[in-house]
Chain A
Amino acid sequence: MSTNTAVSPVVTIKQKTRRDHTLLKSVLFLLPAWILLLIFFVGPILLTFYFAFTNLTLTGTEAKSTEFIGFQNFVTMFQDPDFRISVVKTIVFLLFSAVIGQQVLGFILAVLMKEKNKTFRRIIGIIVLAGWVTPEIVVAFCWVAFLSDNGTLNMVLQHIGMKPVTWMYTFPMVSVVIANIWHGTAFSMLVFQAALDDVPKSVEEAAVMDGANKFQVLFRIVLPMVKGSIVTNMILVTLQTLGVFTLIFAMTGGGPGTSTQTLPIFMYNQAFVNYQLGYGTAISLILLVIGIGASLIYMRSMKAEI
Chain B
Amino acid sequence: MNRYKTEKVVPYVILTILGIMFILPLLWVLFASFDPNAQQSLKMPSSFTLTNFTSIFTDPANLRSFGIGLFISVGQAVLVVMVAIMAAYPLSRYALKFKKPFMYTILFMTALPITAVMVPVYQLFIYLNMQDSLIGTILFLTASGLPYAIWMMKNFMDSVPLELEESAWIDGASVWAGLRRVVAPLMIPGICTVAIFTFSGSWGNFFVPYILIQTPDKFPASVTIFQFFGTFGMIEYGKLAAFSMVYTMPSVILYIFSQKFMSTGFSLGGASKG
Against A, the Cβ 8 Å flags (1 = close, 0 = not) of B82-120 are 111011011111111000100110011101111111111
Report the number of A-B residue pairs with Cβ-Cβ less than 8 Å.
Answer: 317
Q: Is A166 interfacial (CB-CB < 8 Å)?
A: no
Residue numbers in A under 8 Å from B172 (CB-CB): none
Range class of the A interface residue count: 35 or more
Task: Please tell me if the beta carbons of A131 and B162 are within 8 angstroms of each other in the complex.
Answer: no
Given contacts A152-B25, A299-B104, contact A14 B274 (CB under 8 A): no
- B104, B124, B267: the one within 8 Å of A306 (CB): B104
Question: Are B24's CB and A146's CB within 8 A?
Answer: yes
State the Cβ distance, B7 to closest chain A Cβ, in Å: 7
Q: Does A194 touch B at the CB level, under 8 Å?
A: yes
Q: Which of B40-86 contact A (CB under 8 A)?
A: 40-42, 82-84, 86
CA distance A6 to B159 in the complex (A): 8
Point out the residues of chain A lying under 8 angstroms from B155, CB to CB: 1-2
Chain A residues with Cβ under 8 A from B41's Cβ? 150-152, 154-155
Which residue of chain B has the shortest Cβ distance to A137 in the bound complex? B206
In the assembled complex, the CB of B156 is this many whole angstroms from the nearest CB of chain A, namely 10
CB–CB A13/B12 < 8 A: no
Do B28 and A41 have beta carbons less than 8 Å apart?
Answer: no
B134 at the interface (CB under 8 A from A): no
Do B206 and A226 have beta carbons less than 8 Å apart? no
Check A272–B211 contact: CB distance below 8 A.
yes
Q: Counting CB contacts under 8 A, is A274 at the interface?
A: no
Q: What class of interface size applies to chain B in its complex with A?
A: 35 or more
Residues of A within 8 A of B122 (CB): 271-272, 277
Shortest Cβ distance from B157 into chain A, in angstroms?
9
**Chain A residue nearest to B18 in the complex (CB):** A109
In the complex with contacts A250-B226, A295-B108, A299-B107, A134-B26 CB distance below 8 A = yes
Task: Classify the interface of chain B: helix, strand, loop or mixed.
Answer: helix
A192-231 interface mask toward B, CB cutoff 8 Å, 1 = contact, 0 = none? 0111001000000000000000100000000000111101
| Bound Cα distance A304, B104 (Å) | 11
Q: Is A5 an interface residue (CB 8 A)?
A: yes
- CB atoms of A33 and B112 under 8 A apart: no
Q: Which of B28, B87, B226 contacts A33 (CB 8 A)?
A: B87
Cβ A109 vs Cβ B15 within 8 A: yes
Contacts of B203 on A, CB cut-off 8 Å?
135
Are B248 and A198 in contact, with the CB atoms below 8 A? Answer: no
CB distance from B18 to the nearest CB of A (A): 7
Q: Which residues of A contact B123 (CB under 8 A)?
A: 47, 51, 56, 277, 281
CB under 8 Å from chain A, chain B span 1-41: 7, 11-12, 14-16, 18-19, 22-26, 28-29, 32, 39-41
Interface members, chain A 267-284 (any B CB < 8 Å)? 267, 271-272, 277, 280-281, 284
Chain B CB within 8 A of A165 CB = no
> A residues within 8 A CB of B7?
214
Q: Are B94 and A45 in contact (CB-based, < 8 A)?
A: no
Please give the distance in Å from A173's CB to the nearest CB on chain B.
18
Binds B, one of A69-77, A81-89, A235-243: A235-243
- Give the docked Cα–Cα distance between A182 and B247 (Å): 19
Smallest Cβ distance from B239 to chain A, in angstroms?
12
Chain B residues with Cβ under 8 A from A305's Cβ? Answer: 107, 269-271
Residues of A within 8 A of B248 (CB): 133-135, 138
Partner of A239, one of B14, B111, B268: B111
Q: List 28 A-B contacts (CB under 8 A).
A: A1-B270, A2-B154, A5-B158, A9-B92, A16-B169, A26-B96, A44-B121, A45-B112, A48-B116, A48-B119, A56-B123, A109-B15, A112-B14, A131-B22, A131-B25, A134-B251, A138-B247, A141-B29, A143-B25, A153-B24, A191-B268, A233-B268, A264-B116, A291-B112, A294-B111, A299-B104, A302-B269, A304-B269
Additional pairs, 7, CB under 8 Å, beyond known A44-B120, A243-B114: A29-B87, A36-B83, A40-B144, A56-B123, A120-B12, A156-B24, A304-B271
